[in-house]
Protein backbone atom coordinates (compact mmCIF):
# COMPACT_ATOMS: atom_id res chain seq x y z
CA UNK A 1 0.00 0.00 0.00
CA UNK A 2 1.03 3.57 -0.01
CA UNK A 3 4.22 4.75 1.53
CA UNK A 4 2.84 6.93 4.31
CA UNK A 5 4.42 9.68 6.35
CA UNK A 6 6.35 6.84 7.90
CA UNK A 7 7.87 5.89 4.55
CA UNK A 8 11.31 6.99 5.67
CA UNK A 9 10.91 4.95 8.81
CA UNK A 10 9.92 1.88 6.85
CA UNK A 11 12.87 2.28 4.50
CA UNK A 12 15.20 2.52 7.48
CA UNK A 13 13.55 -0.49 9.05
CA UNK A 14 13.88 -2.37 5.77
CA UNK A 15 17.61 -1.74 5.69
CA UNK A 16 17.92 -2.96 9.27
CA UNK A 17 16.00 -6.18 8.83
CA UNK A 18 15.55 -6.64 5.07
CA UNK A 19 11.85 -6.21 5.57
CA UNK A 20 9.39 -3.62 4.18
CA UNK A 21 5.97 -2.22 4.52
CA UNK A 22 2.81 -1.03 2.82
CA UNK A 23 1.97 -0.08 -0.63
CA UNK A 24 -0.74 -0.07 -3.25
CA UNK A 25 -1.21 -3.13 -5.31
CA UNK A 26 -3.13 -4.76 -7.99
CA UNK A 27 -4.14 -8.24 -8.16
CA UNK A 28 -5.25 -11.57 -9.07
CA UNK A 29 -6.11 -13.68 -11.89
CA UNK A 30 -7.88 -16.85 -11.76
CA UNK A 31 -7.58 -20.21 -13.17
CA UNK A 32 -10.92 -21.68 -14.07
CA UNK A 33 -11.88 -24.64 -11.98
CA UNK A 34 -12.28 -27.83 -13.87
CA UNK A 35 -14.67 -30.50 -12.82
CA UNK A 36 -14.28 -33.94 -14.34
CA UNK A 37 -16.79 -36.62 -14.99
CA UNK A 38 -16.20 -40.30 -15.31
CA UNK A 39 -18.36 -42.71 -17.18
CA UNK A 40 -20.49 -45.24 -15.38
CA UNK A 41 -18.59 -48.25 -14.20
CA UNK A 42 -20.93 -50.57 -16.06
CA UNK A 43 -22.08 -49.76 -19.61
CA UNK A 44 -24.65 -51.60 -21.67
CA UNK A 45 -23.33 -51.69 -25.22
CA UNK A 46 -24.73 -52.82 -28.51
CA UNK A 47 -22.13 -55.58 -28.87
CA UNK A 48 -19.09 -57.26 -27.50
CA UNK A 49 -15.44 -57.09 -28.47
CA UNK A 50 -14.12 -54.31 -30.73
CA UNK A 51 -17.58 -53.02 -31.64
CA UNK A 52 -18.52 -52.73 -27.97
CA UNK A 53 -15.29 -50.93 -27.13
CA UNK A 54 -15.80 -48.44 -29.97
CA UNK A 55 -19.34 -47.79 -28.76
CA UNK A 56 -18.17 -47.18 -25.20
CA UNK A 57 -15.39 -44.85 -26.40
CA UNK A 58 -17.89 -42.89 -28.47
CA UNK A 59 -20.19 -42.47 -25.49
CA UNK A 60 -17.34 -41.34 -23.25
CA UNK A 61 -16.25 -38.71 -25.77
CA UNK A 62 -19.79 -37.44 -26.02
CA UNK A 63 -20.14 -37.02 -22.26
CA UNK A 64 -16.64 -35.83 -21.32
CA UNK A 65 -16.30 -32.15 -20.40
CA UNK A 66 -14.00 -30.02 -22.57
CA UNK A 67 -10.63 -28.99 -21.13
CA UNK A 68 -10.67 -25.60 -19.42
CA UNK A 69 -9.21 -22.79 -21.50
CA UNK A 70 -6.96 -20.07 -20.18
CA UNK A 71 -8.89 -17.32 -18.42
CA UNK A 72 -8.15 -13.63 -18.81
CA UNK A 73 -9.99 -10.39 -18.34
CA UNK A 74 -10.35 -7.26 -16.27
CA UNK A 75 -9.92 -7.18 -12.50
CA UNK A 76 -10.35 -4.64 -9.73
CA UNK A 77 -9.01 -4.78 -6.20
CA UNK A 78 -9.67 -2.84 -3.05
CA UNK A 79 -7.95 -3.43 0.24
CA UNK A 80 -6.99 -2.16 3.66
CA UNK A 81 -4.03 -2.77 5.97
CA UNK A 82 -4.02 -1.59 9.59
CA UNK A 83 -0.62 -1.38 11.30
CA UNK A 84 0.92 -0.40 14.62
CA UNK A 85 4.37 0.97 15.36
CA UNK A 86 4.01 1.25 19.11
CA UNK A 87 6.63 -1.47 19.68
CA UNK A 88 9.13 0.34 17.46
CA UNK A 89 8.62 -1.82 14.36
CA UNK A 90 5.83 -1.94 11.80
CA UNK A 91 3.35 -4.66 12.80
CA UNK A 92 0.28 -5.58 10.74
CA UNK A 93 -2.83 -5.77 12.93
CA UNK A 94 -5.35 -6.69 10.25
CA UNK A 95 -5.79 -6.70 6.49
CA UNK A 96 -8.39 -7.46 3.81
CA UNK A 97 -8.36 -7.59 0.02
CA UNK A 98 -11.48 -7.78 -2.17
CA UNK A 99 -11.13 -8.93 -5.80
CA UNK A 100 -13.82 -8.53 -8.47
CA UNK A 101 -13.75 -9.50 -12.11
CA UNK A 102 -12.25 -12.55 -13.78
CA UNK A 103 -11.71 -13.72 -10.22
CA UNK A 104 -13.93 -12.65 -7.33
CA UNK A 105 -13.07 -13.34 -3.74
CA UNK A 106 -12.15 -11.98 -0.33
CA UNK A 107 -8.79 -12.59 1.27
CA UNK A 108 -5.99 -10.97 3.21
CA UNK A 109 -2.73 -9.19 2.44
CA UNK A 110 0.52 -10.59 3.81
CA UNK A 111 3.56 -8.29 3.60
CA UNK A 112 6.65 -10.09 2.29
CA UNK A 113 10.31 -9.06 2.81
CA UNK A 114 11.89 -7.41 -0.19
CA UNK A 115 14.73 -8.96 -2.14
CA UNK A 116 18.16 -7.42 -1.49
CA UNK A 117 18.15 -6.03 -5.04
CA UNK A 118 14.73 -4.34 -4.79
CA UNK A 119 14.75 -0.52 -4.90
CA UNK A 120 13.14 1.41 -2.04
CA UNK A 121 9.93 2.10 -3.99
CA UNK A 122 9.21 -1.62 -4.54
CA UNK A 123 7.10 -3.69 -2.15
CA UNK A 124 6.12 -7.35 -2.17
CA UNK A 125 2.91 -8.88 -0.90
CA UNK A 126 1.05 -12.16 -0.98
CA UNK A 127 -2.68 -11.92 -1.63
CA UNK A 128 -4.03 -14.92 0.23
CA UNK A 129 -7.42 -16.34 -0.81
CA UNK A 130 -9.04 -19.68 0.04
CA UNK A 131 -8.28 -20.78 -3.54
CA UNK A 132 -4.57 -20.00 -3.28
CA UNK A 133 -2.04 -17.19 -3.01
CA UNK A 134 -1.06 -14.57 -5.58
CA UNK A 135 2.40 -12.98 -5.50
CA UNK A 136 2.24 -9.21 -5.98
CA UNK A 137 5.12 -6.84 -6.72
CA UNK A 138 4.17 -3.18 -6.31
CA UNK A 139 5.98 -0.02 -7.29
CA UNK A 140 5.16 3.40 -5.86
CA UNK A 141 5.06 6.38 -8.20
CA UNK A 142 4.22 10.04 -7.73
CA UNK A 143 2.86 11.36 -4.44
CA UNK A 144 -0.25 13.30 -5.39
CA UNK A 145 -1.03 14.77 -1.97
CA UNK A 146 0.55 14.93 1.48
CA UNK A 147 -0.33 16.65 4.73
CA UNK A 148 1.23 16.52 8.21
CA UNK A 149 -0.03 18.32 11.29
CA UNK A 150 3.08 19.21 13.34
CA UNK A 151 0.98 19.71 16.47
CA UNK A 152 -0.35 16.16 16.71
CA UNK A 153 1.74 14.34 14.03
CA UNK A 154 -1.33 13.15 12.15
CA UNK A 155 -0.66 12.61 8.46
CA UNK A 156 -2.40 11.71 5.23
CA UNK A 157 -0.79 10.82 1.92
CA UNK A 158 -1.95 9.67 -1.53
CA UNK A 159 0.36 7.97 -4.02
CA UNK A 160 0.03 6.46 -7.49
CA UNK A 161 1.18 2.87 -7.83
CA UNK A 162 1.53 0.02 -10.31
CA UNK A 163 1.53 -3.69 -9.60
CA UNK A 164 2.44 -7.01 -11.21
CA UNK A 165 1.09 -10.44 -10.34
CA UNK A 166 3.89 -12.97 -10.77
CA UNK A 167 2.35 -16.38 -10.21
CA UNK A 168 1.40 -17.89 -6.92
CA UNK A 169 0.11 -21.11 -5.40
CA UNK A 170 -2.99 -23.26 -5.75
CA UNK A 171 -5.43 -21.92 -8.31
CA UNK A 172 -3.06 -19.01 -9.04
CA UNK A 173 0.12 -20.98 -9.78
CA UNK A 174 0.27 -19.67 -13.37
CA UNK A 175 -1.51 -16.36 -12.86
CA UNK A 176 -0.05 -13.15 -14.24
CA UNK A 177 -1.43 -9.64 -14.33
CA UNK A 178 -0.76 -5.94 -14.15
CA UNK A 179 -2.63 -2.99 -12.75
CA UNK A 180 -2.50 0.63 -11.74
CA UNK A 181 -3.99 2.11 -8.63
CA UNK A 182 -4.05 4.70 -5.91
CA UNK A 183 -2.91 4.18 -2.34
CA UNK A 184 -3.87 6.31 0.62
CA UNK A 185 -2.12 6.20 3.99
CA UNK A 186 -3.28 8.04 7.07
CA UNK A 187 -2.36 7.75 10.70
CA UNK A 188 -0.49 9.04 13.71
CA UNK A 189 3.26 9.54 13.49
CA UNK A 190 5.75 8.94 16.26
CA UNK A 191 7.68 11.78 17.92
CA UNK A 192 11.37 12.45 18.27
CA UNK A 193 12.87 13.10 21.75
CA UNK A 194 12.60 16.83 21.08
CA UNK A 195 8.85 16.53 20.45
CA UNK A 196 8.96 16.97 16.68
CA UNK A 197 7.25 14.50 14.34
CA UNK A 198 9.56 11.67 13.33
CA UNK A 199 10.04 10.65 9.69
CA UNK A 200 12.34 7.74 10.54
CA UNK A 201 10.25 5.84 13.09
CA UNK A 202 7.23 3.73 12.07
CA UNK A 203 3.89 5.52 12.61
CA UNK A 204 2.22 4.62 15.89
CA UNK A 205 -0.95 3.86 13.96
CA UNK A 206 -1.48 3.68 10.19
CA UNK A 207 -4.34 2.68 7.88
CA UNK A 208 -3.41 1.99 4.26
CA UNK A 209 -6.19 1.83 1.66
CA UNK A 210 -5.82 0.82 -1.98
CA UNK A 211 -7.92 0.76 -5.12
CA UNK A 212 -6.48 -0.81 -8.27
CA UNK A 213 -7.68 -2.04 -11.64
CA UNK A 214 -6.06 -3.97 -14.44
CA UNK A 215 -6.02 -7.37 -16.09
CA UNK A 216 -5.39 -10.96 -15.02
CA UNK A 217 -4.72 -14.12 -16.97
CA UNK A 218 -3.85 -17.72 -16.25
Convert the pLDDT of each residue in 195-210 to its tens digit: 999 989 999 999 999 9
Residue-level pLDDT at 218 = 85
**Tens-digit pLDDT profile for residues 54-74:** 555 444 444 444 444 568 999
At 216, the pLDDT band (50, 70, 90 cuts) reads very high
DSSP per residue, 28-59? ---PPP-------SS---SSSHHHHHHHHHHH
* Average predicted confidence (pLDDT) for the chain: 78
Q: Report the pLDDT averaged over residues 152-162.
A: 97
Pairing of strands 72-84, 205-217: antiparallel
Q: How far is CA 174 from CA 99, 113, 125, 140, 168, in A?
A: 17, 22, 17, 25, 7
Q: Is the pLDDT of residue 9 over 90?
A: no
pTM above 0.75, yes or no: no
Residue 54 is predicted with a pLDDT of: 52
Q: How far apart are CA 3 and CA 5, in angstroms?
A: 7
Euclidean distance between CA atoms 103 and 76, whole angstroms = 9
Amino acid sequence: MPHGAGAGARRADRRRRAGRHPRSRAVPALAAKISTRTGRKHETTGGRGAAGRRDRASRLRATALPAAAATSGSETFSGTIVTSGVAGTRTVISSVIVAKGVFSGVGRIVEIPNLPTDPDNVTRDDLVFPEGTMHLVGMSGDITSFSLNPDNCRFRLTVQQTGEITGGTGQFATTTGSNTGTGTAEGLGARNPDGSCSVTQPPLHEVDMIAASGTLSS
